[in-house]
Amino acid sequence: MEPTLPTATVDRRTVASLFSRLRTGKGQSNPRPLYAELRALGDIFPSPWGGHLVTSYALCDEVMRSRTWRVPDTEWRAGQANAARWNTPASLQTAKSLPMLNPPHHTKVRRSAGSMFDRAKLAEIEISIAKNVEKVLDVFEGELLKGPADFTSLVAEELPVRAIGEWLNLPAGDYSVLRSLTNDQTLSQEFFPSPSQLARADAAARGLQEYFTALVRERRAMPGDDPVSSWIATWDTLEPDREKADAEAHSMAVFVIVAALETTEHLLSGMVRLLLEHPDQLERLRTHPEYIPHVVDETLRYDPAIHAISRTAPHDITLGGALVREGEMVQLMVGAAQHDPRQYENPEDFDVRRKPPHFGFGSGIHYCLGAPLARLEGSLLLASILRRLPRLRISEPPAWEPRVSFRRLNHLMVTPA
């Protein structure tokens, strides 16, 4: 298929209306028709809020793989006319995290993290995750005996915090508050968050700041065999200023907990929701459990946690025939791009046999360090569900948070079929 050229003039109200509809319950439950309307406006076109929106897979892929395009880091945020919007506590906390760093600082920080989840580490972690899968499913099965049970809160939110909490050697009693803080902190990454959302995000950022400042102080005083202690030791060799070294270890810890929880929660609940909404695919998976790894990737394509990714132009540059000025932002609408019919055959079909390319773990230098862990959690959980709970059904319409860029399924109520 030929590229979709932007219309002569893309009506700002049309685009704004599409985003408003994406926030509604109907838009959250099925954004795909609205994404088709966005793609029909062009592969790249002006955003009503400044900069450009990108909807095609090819252009999103070009930008994300590029070493030229930049992320909106702290320097970019400080130079914006509406700097107050970009310099709230939650926004600044995000800007200091690995995904919002540009080279050469990004290169230095990424190297300091080492190989978080290499094969040896995954083999060690797998035993713990497998045990936790059985524990959370024990609780979930117990609730199913009483009636409909919420898969999101009982399983999808529980497994990731146990996995990352044990890896970081955090007290189990802290898991609940960390889960709540990370969920609220990501509200700052929405398109035009409301004042109440920003207040929640900023309060959460302060909570995470306090928690991990205390943790870094504790691990410096009593280092152990854990990642935080390792990051502190690494940064002591890279940064002579101890305060700056601790700040880097702190930023890495905050990034890891936020990235490991919110996105993996959505993956786990999304896998189960999509399989229950497509019983023919669930039946195919029962017959062919070797497709379990494919389900992880197809879920990340069909409905990823993050539907919009920001990049900024390093200089005046042409993208898809459009001129993007230096410093202008492009919003890569990856949720729409991952249903681009020029990239995928029958993109609106959820197909467990498909092993698709996708942006669910990012791309290029910003490819997710935790991807192997998320894949492992998803595969182990799905295998156990097929064995223990092969017959489930959704008992009421799923409840969504009204978001666009960072999807969140609040509740997924299920019952035995």
Pseudo-torsion of CA 168, 173, 174, 176, nearest 10°? 120
pLDDT over threshold 80, residue 4:
no
- Give the model confidence (pLDDT) of 225-254 as tens digits: 999 999 999 999 999 999 999 999 999 999
pLDDT at 21 over 60: yes
Q: What residues are paired with 416 via a beta bridge?
A: 392
Question: Average pLDDT for residues 168-173, to the nearest whole number?
Answer: 97
| Rounded Cα gap, residues 101 and 258, in angstroms | 16
Q: How far is CA 239 from the centre of its chain?
A: 30
Q: What pLDDT is attached to residue 3? A: 53
Q: Where along the chain do its domains lie? A: 12-416
151 contacts 381 by C-beta, under 8 angstroms: no
404 within 8 A of 317, measured Cβ to Cβ: no
Q: Which two tokens stand for residue 113?
A: 């993290």
pLDDT tens-digit readout, 81-114 = 876 777 889 988 999 999 999 999 999 999 998 8
Structure-derived torsion over alpha carbons of residues 103, 105, 111, 117, reported in degrees to the nearest 10:
-80
Q: Per-residue pLDDT averaged across 400-414, rounded?
A: 93
Give pLDDT tens digits for 369-396. 999 999 999 999 999 999 999 899 999 9
> Tens of pLDDT along 284-340?
999 999 999 999 999 999 999 999 999 999 999 999 999 999 999 999 999 999 999
pLDDT at 142 over 50: yes
User: How many whole angstroms separate alpha carbon 71 and alpha carbon 364?
Assistant: 12
Q: Tell me: the pLDDT tens digits for 340-360?
A: 999 999 999 999 999 999 999
pLDDT at 7: 44
235 touches 112 (CB < 8 A):
yes
Torsion of CA 138, 139, 141, 144, to 10 degrees: 180
Instruction: Render pLDDT for 192-210 as a digit per residue (tens, 0 to 9).
Output: 788 898 999 999 999 999 9
In the predicted structure, residue 8 carries a pLDDT above the cut 60: no
Looking at residue 118, its amino acid is: D
- Confidence tier at 275 by pLDDT (50, 70, 90): very high
Q: Does domain 12-416 have CATH number 3.30.70.1450?
A: no
- CA dist., res. 21 & res. 34, Å (int): 8
What radius of gyration do the chain's Cα atoms show? 21
At residue 81, the pLDDT reads 80
- Under 8 Å CB-to-CB from 303, ≥6 apart: which residues? 266, 270, 274, 335, 407
